[in-house]
Structure 1
Amino acid sequence: MNANTDLTGASLPPDHASSANITGTGRPNTTALFPTVSRRERSGPLALTIGFGLVAVCLIGLFTSPTAAIGGAWCIGMMLVLLFISVPVAIALSVPSIIGVYAVSGIPATMNILATAPFSAVSDWTLSVLPMFIFMGMLLTQSGLSAKIYRVADHWFSWLPGGIGIGTTFAGAGLSAVTGSTIGMTYALGRAGIPEMLKASYDRRMAVGTIMVSGMTGNLIPPSILMVVYAGIASVPVGPALMAGAVPGILLALCFAIFIFAIGLVAPSLVGREAGTTERTRPTWRQRFTSLGGVWGFLVILVVLFGGMFSGIFTPTEAGAAAALCSVLLCLWEKRGERPWRKVAESALATVSATSAIFFIMIGATMLTSLLAITGLAPILTGFITSLGLSTVGFLLVLIVLYVIMGMFFDTMSMMLLTIPILLPTLETMGVSPLWFGVFVVLLGEFGMITPPVGIIPYIVHSIAKHPDVNLGHTVTLRDIFTSLLWFLPVAVVFLVLMIVAPGMTEWLPDLIERTSGGMAAG
């Protein structure tokens, strides 16, 4: 690969090369999995000066606070300021927490947190599945699976009205699930999918809108890194948490596919079906089945992962290890003659880096939880929310608005780690299932990242669509980007409401696996 390569092998502009899942050296870019805060440009000197000035104000407020709760509030403010100026999430969570515990309880409590939090945050055996999933994603990316997934989806769905868009939707769900990165998937699929849809005479707004919503479901469908991280923070079993996201993720992808199909019937001109437009040559059945041969390894991995858990042969942790081993063999086979062991070694090094970074973030979240307990902020916040008299539905609707606003600044993992420790006590009071809430909060984070005018994803797609080899001579403006989202976002909103009305969709598959396997072990 050349210096600027995305997942599909297409060239990326220099300013975006580092954001794809493959760096200039061909090594997986782990920042796609756990970014500092946002994908926008780093804070300028003025913003940094203002930010550190606000941090100083928070420190003064903390050490002069009359009560522990007010001191805790100053620490939360300090965290937000550090996040806004692009300080890495782990540092933004841990440093104010440590300072806050010292200010409120002194040196003994601070030393106790420093001694216990790192071990307690990451020592749960069930979290050992996390590096297995990351390693699997790295290997599958290195093996060139992304382009093959897109080709399969394109071949099998292109005959339908809106078929290329439908294929792109399913390919995006698959790529996002494999890579663990919605942003990395957006770069890869945008470079490949937008030109293909424009060649097929799709309306430019339909093309970019399809790309933006295609990755929303990937972090719900196993193997989901975010669901594993949530399980670690919320202390819920990893296996059920992974399976809980599968049905909602697949259903949401189907909802987007049905929407695109309906557009193809109602307004065929938007999907290149207008009379007089030139249709692409449809692939033959032989080409369709041949394309499946390119992803046989991925299908084997899915069988090992899900079949092992369904049958009770593997616990979730063991299934992750078995799937990672299959990924090693797949990478060695696919890259035979191209120094495959080097790719495996690079994936292993990137996995160590990625796992360390995620564990560091989880340690910061554990320290934040300790701060909330010591300062008494958690029960105060729970009492405040309860005093508002909100119903469970009203509480969840408020969360939707909150996450849409936070999507302006943070990616999904950052939003989860900042809010879950604060919200968990309230969930118990509201009677919300932690298992269901994990799926809901991951989907909310993805929703916040695409919602105009504050989401990150629209600006990424707009930057991709500026390049001549992507837009093919069409002008794609920010207005086009936002207009396209106004078409697609109602589908996501309706699905969020459906999740609130029918929460059983998240628990059906975990319950089925438990009944089938005679009780699925937590790890």
Structure 2
Amino acid sequence: MSPELITLLMLGTLIILIVLGYPIAFVLGGVATIFGLVFVGPNVINFFMLKMYGTLSDYVLIAIPLFIFMGAIIEKSGLAMRLYDAMHILMGRLRGGLLIATIITCTIFAAATGVIGASVVTMGLLALPAMMKYKYDIPMATGSICAGGTLGVLIPPSVLILVYGPTAGISVGKLFMAAIVPGLLLASAYVIYVIIRCYMNPELGPALPKSAVKEVTTGRKIYLFATSVLPVSLLILSVLGAIFLGIAAPTEAAGIGAFASLILAAAYRNLTWQNLKEAVYSTMKISSMIFLVLIAAGFFTTIFIRVGGGRVVTDFVTGLPFPSWGILVVMLLIVFLMGMFIDWIGTIMIAVPLFTPIAASLGYDPIWFAMMVIVVMQTGFLTPPFAYAIFYLKGIAPPEVKTGHIYKGVIPFIIIQFAVIILLALFPGLITWLPSLM
């Protein structure tokens, strides 16, 4: 059987089983095992064992459970509530003030947790009821929560970047630095959009009445800043600063962050045995899922390349009658479509080993290409049908918030995402500047 037909059958089987709803890890591992036994032989078991050992012994990937633990402890510490309360007081009197407060809180909280679920769920529980109480537009409210929550996959320390780095053979520390400007650029674009819309149509996000916002003195504002924004900022800077200055690798920095999060939770008097137990359980659960998919996806990629699928895809993409930027658009479009149907880990483990060499052969900077892929994948978290942010928010939203409200709310933010992607493509220095200083 020709490599082209094997590739078509392998990818077709994978897509069909995923669409039918089978778990991604079992689909990837099962398809790889069947096609491996048929077209490679019994030695396929050795490939699986080597991939499993290589994944579990990867020193960089140790940072994954450490950063997840850091995020879980911060989530239990009550930091999100403190941040949102402070932003609520400082910005509530502005048009769209609660929307702005939500996005800023999401940005800070996302940087502290590194995952999307914690940000969307926490802000959905805190911010959505408040915005509905003051008659904010439901699509605008849900869209801002979903968009702000997805920043957790981009703003470092991001678990997605931790997986991407070793897969592409790129320094995780440099990817962390490269993600800072795009992340802040997206957050700023969200805020600017909200301000413009609410000033054009105040009914979308009315300013809160004086009775709803406490009058605060300058001293009180300093206190709010010192007890909410400053601690988490120092935590994030301790992690990223250690990496940027070369004091610690990402794994050691993750350990610093995990320890610092315990200190922060203790300072907030929320480091209880129950919270610690729940954080450890959450860390074990999420880490196990990630590593299971990593092993299965890595095994799938190994077999896919072994049967000639990698060469078939490479020949197909490079053979397209497009200039280099056209091929880049095709690769990013494929990643975007994969993100609509496949788990983000599967998308990385399948697409990155195939597309990174192609991008390098076309002369694109690996770090720049990596960030373009990651921002496109982040857009996938907002885009149906496999939109994590939408499902997370719908799961905890009040009954009057319909799925249609959330779909309508995320559309403008998806457009903003694509606008920023174009901006990053036109000005690569926005991505490569900070890594070049390391």
* CA distance in structure 2 between the partners assigned to 1:496 and 1:193 by the alignment: 28
Amino acid at match of 2:315: G
Instruction: Work out whether 1:373 is the aligned partner of 2:305.
Output: yes
- C-alpha distance in 2, partners of 1:205/1:87? 31
> In the alignment, which residue of structure 2 is the partner of 1:62?
none
* Alignment check: 8 A CA contact 2:111 2:236 kept: no
Instruction: Give 1:220-239 correspondences, 5 Å limit.
Output: 220-239=154-173
Larger fraction in helix:
2
Q: Which amino acid aligns with 1:70?
A: L
2:266 counterpart residue number:
332
Tell me which amino acid in the other structure corresponds to 1:364: A
* 1:74-85 equivalences in 2 (<5 Å): 74-85=9-20
Deviation at 1:243, TM superposition (A): 1.6
Mapped contact 1:233–1:362 kept (Cα < 8 A): no
Label 1:508 to 1:143 Cα distance change in 2 as closer, same or farther (>3 A): same
Residue 453 of structure 1 and its aligned partner are, at CA, apart by: 6.8
Q: How far apart are the structure 2 equivalents of 1:186 and 1:348?
A: 20
> Runs of 5+ in structure 1 lacking a partner?
1-65, 468-474, 515-523
Q: CA deviation at 1:400?
A: 4.9
State how far apart, in whole Å, the 1-side matches of 2:340 and 2:244 are: 39
Matches within 5 A, 1:380-395: 380-395=312-327
Equivalence map 1:331-370=2 (5 Å): 331-335=265-269, 340-370=272-302
- The 5-angstrom pairing of residues 140-219 of structure 1 reads 140-219=74-153
User: Does 2:437 correspond to 1:490?
Assistant: no
Code of the aligned partner of 1:503: P
Segments of structure 2 that go 5 or more residues without pairing to the other structure are: none
Structure 1 residues 196, 391: closer, same or farther in 2, change over 3 A? farther
How many residue pairs match? The answer is 436
Matches within 5 A, 1:4-403: 66-108=1-43, 110-273=44-207, 280-284=212-216, 285-295=218-228, 296-335=230-269, 340-403=272-335
Q: Is the 2:342–2:386 Cα contact (8 Å) retained in structure 1? A: no
For normalisation by structure 2, the TM-score amounts to 0.89
Task: Tell me the secondary structure at the aligned position of residue 235 of structure 2.
Answer: helix
Superposed CA RMSD in Å reads 2.7
Task: Deviation per CA, 1:349-374: give whole Å up to 9, x if none.
Answer: 44344333322222222212211221
Q: TM-score, normalised by structure 1?
A: 0.76
The secondary structure found in structure 2 opposite 1:217 is helix
1:377–1:310 distance in 2 versus 1, CA, 3 Å: closer
Higher relative contact order (Cα pairs below 8 Å, separated by 6+ residues): 2
2:186, 2:420 within 8 Å by CA — same for their partners in 1?
Answer: yes
Contact 1:407 1:456 in 2 (8 A): no
- State the match for 1:52 in structure 2: none
Q: Summarize deviations over 1:94-125 as a string: whole Å, max 9, x none.
A: 221122222112113x1330231112234332
Q: Give the counterpart letter for 1:169 in structure 2.
A: I
Structure 1 residue 424 and structure 2 residue 356: aligned?
yes
The 1-side partners of 2:385 and 2:296 are apart by 30
Match of 2:322, SS? coil
Relative to structure 1, the CA distance from residue 86 to residue 286 in structure 2 (aligned partners, 3 Å threshold; closer, same or farther) is farther
Q: Is the partner of 1:245 in helix, strand or coil?
A: helix
Secondary structure at the residue paired with 2:132? helix
Q: Distance in 2 between matches of 1:408 and 1:394?
A: 21
C-alpha distance in structure 2 between counterparts of 1:449 and 1:375, whole Å: 31
- Relative distance call for 1:480 and 1:137 in structure 2 (3 A) is closer
Per-residue deviation at 1:215? 1.6
Q: CA deviation at 1:398?
A: 3.3
Hey, what's the Cα distance between the residues in 2 that align with 1:460 and 1:344?
A: 23
CA shift, 1:160, in A, is 3.6
Give yes or no for contact 1:368–1:421 (8 Å, CA) kept in 2: no
Partner of 1:508: 433
Counterpart CA distance in 2 for 1:171 and 1:449 is 19
SS of the equivalent of 2:212 reads: coil
